[in-house]
Amino acid sequence: MSEPIISLTPGAAKRVAWIAERQRKPAILRLAVDGGGCAGFTYKFELAEQAEGDDTVAETDGVRLVVDPTSLELVQGSAVDFVEDLGGAAFKVTNPNAQSGCGCGSSFSV
């Protein structure tokens, strides 16, 4: 069995569904990668109205995670989770392609 291209954990799916319900939007989380941040690239999350034609889509518990082809090159094989700790609550990407990260956990380099 091959590794998934990208995945959304059940905990992250539950949180996306909760946010989407309150904002009256579809339960679709878009993950994009932007240049910048303290390590070179940053993760950007937003609710999407729909998947675009060339997006890769992963689904967990009825919630979809969508990623554009350019961003997918940098996050392929990753898992998106939702974590809550003393520092706060946030979506977290476990990215096997990242060579290094930073203390804030939202930027990385390849």
pLDDT in tens, 21-57: 999 999 999 999 988 767 678 899 999 999 999 999 9
Look at residue 109 and tell me whether its pLDDT is greater than 70: no
> Angle CA(11)–CA(13)–CA(105) in degrees, nearest 5?
65
Q: pLDDT, tens digit, for every residue of 61-77?
A: 999 999 999 999 999 99
Q: Give me the percent of the chain exceeding a pLDDT of 90.
A: 66
Look at residue 94 and tell me whether its pLDDT is greater than 60: yes
Mean pLDDT for 80-109 is: 80
Domains and CATH numbers, the chain: 6-109 (2.60.300.12)
Q: Are 63 and 57 in contact (CB under 8 A)?
A: no
Q: Is the pTM of this model over 0.85?
A: yes
Quick one: pLDDT band at residue 12, thresholds 50, 70, 90?
Answer: very high
Task: Give the full edge-to-edge strand order of the sheet including 41-47.
Answer: 56-60, 63-67, 28-35, 41-47, 107-109, 100-101
